[in-house]
Amino acid sequence: QNPVLAIVGRPNVGKSTLVNRILGRREAVVEDTPGVTRDRVQYTAHWNGRDFTLVDTGGWERDARGIHLRVAEQAEIAVEMADAVLLVVDAMVGITASDEAIVRMLRRIKKPVILVGNKVDDLVQEAEAATLWGLGLGEPYPVSAVHGRGVADMLDKVMDVL
């Protein structure tokens, strides 16, 4: 049984793009429209000679209703099944109320959380990711899921806690 890493975050922050980057292939569905990944989707991933299970989830909205409620439930199930959680935030947008709601949920579930500030496509933008310290989850890892920037350091950290 491989250790399980759940990827959570509000819609459109780049969770599925990051999954594809980690897998090294385009398997998770990436969409410009928020909310495309509805259910939990599992993949087997590898890093530094170790295998782990990656669970992509739909966005986790604060006032979830209808189909979005189901998405939130699936994300919560993924977190409960996981050994560790990757919380993805859009570093270019900064902290939103939805991000804060997810953090409260994660505090309750008490799993190790690694905070990732995505869409840091170049060095100039890295300073903006520092605002994510404000979520109270420790050091934010700045990455660009599109370009691969920072993903190796992030995965080294993931393997430390997984």
User: Distance between CA 10 and CA 99 in Å, rounded?
Assistant: 7
Q: How many positions of this chain bind ligand GDP (CB under 6 A)?
A: 21
Report how far Cα 50 is from the mean position of its chain's Cα atoms.
20
DSSP class per residue in 31-60:
-SSTT---S-EEEEEEETTEEEEEEE----
Q: Which partner in ligand GDP, Mg ion, none is near 145 (CB below 5 to 8 A by kind)?
A: ligand GDP
Of 41 and 162, nearer to ligand GDP (C-beta) is 41
Residue 112 · residue 84 · CB < 8 Å? yes
Of residues 31-50, those binding ligand GDP (CB under 6 A): 31-32, 34, 36-37
Q: Which of residues 101-160 bind ligand GDP (CB under 6 A)?
A: 118-119, 121, 144-146
Region 12-31 residues binding ligand GDP, contact defined as CB under 6 A: 12-17, 30-31
- What Cα–Cα distance (Å) separates residue 80 from each residue in 22, 84, 111? 22, 9, 8
Tell whether residue 56 is among the known ligand binding residues: yes
Q: Where are any strands of DSSP class E within 64-153? A: 84-90, 113-118, 141-142
Q: Is 57 in the site for Mg ion (CB under 5 A)?
A: no
Q: Fill in the per-residue mask, 63 to 102: x = in contact with ligand GDP (CB under 6 A), - = not in contact.
A: ----------------------------------------
| Residue 49 is assigned to a ligand binding site | no
Distances from the Cα of 107 to the Cαs of 74, 84, 112, in angstroms? 17, 12, 9
Tokens of 4: 């399980």
144 binds, among ligand GDP, Mg ion, none (CB under 5 to 8 A by kind): ligand GDP
Q: List binding-site positions for GTP.
A: 9-16, 56-60, 118-121
Residues that bind ligand GDP (CB under 6 A): 9, 11-17, 30-32, 34, 36-37, 59, 118-119, 121, 144-146
